[in-house]
Chains A and B, each alone.
Chain A
């Protein structure tokens, strides 16, 4: 039976979005590690290699790497391949800028460890205006 878990957080870039979670306790550069045209992670050996970011709630530690991250996020958005929302443990100024420019909600400072409470495939509703997110899964992981 589906359960719905509420996790308090801090909204960084305002807005609300819902999507399937894509989760990795890892960092990611959009320039050089994401192909905007396919929407897929191309970094060799990355835990998300080959995965599409399109419409996903991207749960990662933070962005890193290139200052081209906002640019590639912009191109991905124009291609219809951008993530629906960012859930990040740390806020990199480049992800924040990319989310502001492209109107993508971003949230951080979760009351629970996102890598223990959110799994790839869960449905996540991000409400960055109220600083909360909801995780829905058929069978939620117990603590």
Chain B
């Protein structure tokens, strides 16, 4: 990779050992991925979590070793021309005395790191959906984002540009204000690779999650193009993007006639439309739901909504469904939302309705990240369902919002109808 004199000096240690390490990460990564240069990063979303001591079983020694570079990063300053926000953690910063897995020691460590991150210039959004609250990049904006679902959303729905970043690359981009130019940062790598004809009736965000989950498996690291689909709502697009990056390693997708870089099917494929296509019809949609459901009984103990973190509209809809109802004894109903969104709905009066019904709004994280004990989960999120099966060892039922709320109130899965 060709470096400017200043970049080379940083690599050689002119700004100290840690920034030299950051530069080395970016340069080696760029070399490996085929970048020819570093370009200005306008925007980052960094992953700065304390691995939860109690739930994950790591030793104090491992945690301290893992934390050392994160703390060191936060002793520096973010690039002043770069908009830097922060991803979720493995704990919520709120006190949850009834949830021992959100252990106070980890919470304190996370609070301390979060304070350091703020001093460094990071904006403490603590969400997997920065594009809903706090960090909404414009078309063409060069980003360095962690959170696989947000990467797909930023590229596909907003027309911003970010490769799939991890902890170290997003930290380095935040402090140095540059990213290696490879992958979808370049026009020629934003071309569709897989054609998906959508003929299924799409009724809800979860249906779009099914489309993403089905497609991600086939697309691998490629760029799927959806043809024949109507314009999704923001909530539907969120589910689509999250599921694509759960079953697959998708960085972006196109929806022909809808998303910013796909005014037509031809444009999505840069003029080279493949004849071959896979079809997502009603039968495939239903099979995709069924493929992730592994429940062996109908009694449930956990309902998880807001994966990825819920929008205002989703919470308003949930509150309307819950109003005057009561969540069944022994059932946890958690709605995950960014702190910004949670603050808004509290001010608007919706939190009161949800709490009165026995539900809870959880910020900064999600139940799977906290690793709450759960036996049988009902969720609207294909991503949550996919990972909860392994991470929590729980049985899962992925379903639309209405059936999830009905299950929460009944304490039993009552079916989709």
Contact = CB atoms under 8 A, between A and B. Distances in A.
A67 B148 CA distance: 5
B16 interface: no
Contact of B147 (A67, A69, A79): A67
Interface in A2-53: 12-13, 27, 29, 32-33, 36-37, 42-44
Contact of A27 (B25, B168, B249, B387): B249
A97 interface: yes
Given A37-B58, A42-B391, A61 B220 contact: yes
Contacts of B145: 67
Given A63-B249, A90-B221, A101-B25, A78 B164 contact: no
A136 interface: no
Contact of B66 (A64, A66, A75): A75
Residue of A27, A42, A91, A101 with highest tally of chain B CB at under 10 A: A101
Contacts of B58: 36-37, 75, 78-79
A58 interface: no
A61 B147 CA distance: 21
Given A44-B294, A62-B221, A68-B47, A96 B33 contact: yes
Interface string A77-114: 01100000000001111101110110000000000000
Contacts of A74: 66, 167
B51 A75 contact: yes
Contact of B166 (A32, A64, A69, A79): A69
A71 B166 contact: yes
A61 B219 CA distance: 12
A32 B32 contact: no
B390 A71 contact: no
A86 to B, nearest CB: 12
A43 B47 contact: no
A121 interface: no
A13 B33 CA distance: 10
B32 A64 contact: no
A117 B32 CA distance: 25
Contact of B168 (A37, A44, A64, A70): A70
Nearest to B146: A67
Contacts of A12: 32
Interface residues of A, number: 36
Given A68-B47, A78-B62, A100-B29, A90 B220 contact: yes
A37 B247 CA distance: 23
A44 B169 contact: no
Nearest to B221: A90
A93 to B, nearest CB: 5
Nearest to B180: A93
A108 to B, nearest CB: 10
Interface string B227-251: 0000000000000000001111100
A120 B147 CA distance: 32
B10 interface: no
A67 B46 CA distance: 10
Given A27-B249, A67-B147, A92-B249, A97 B220 contact: no
B168 A92 contact: no
Contacts of B49: 71
A98 B28 CA distance: 11
Interface string B54-76: 00111000100110000000000
B161 interface: no
B86 interface: no
B167 A70 contact: yes
B163 A93 contact: yes
A64 B248 contact: yes
22 contacts: A27-B248, A27-B249, A29-B246, A32-B368, A43-B389, A65-B247, A66-B387, A67-B151, A67-B166, A68-B167, A75-B58, A75-B66, A79-B58, A90-B221, A93-B33, A94-B249, A96-B33, A97-B25, A97-B29, A97-B168, A100-B25, A100-B29
Interface of A: 12-13, 27, 29, 32-33, 36-37, 42-44, 61-71, 74-75, 78-79, 90-94, 96-98, 100-101
8 cross-chain pairs, A with B, having the tightest CB-CB distances, nearest first: A70-B166, A64-B249, A42-B390, A32-B387, A67-B146, A44-B389, A37-B57, A78-B62
Given A65-B148, A94-B165, 7 more contacts: A42-B390, A65-B249, A66-B148, A68-B167, A78-B62, A79-B62, A97-B29
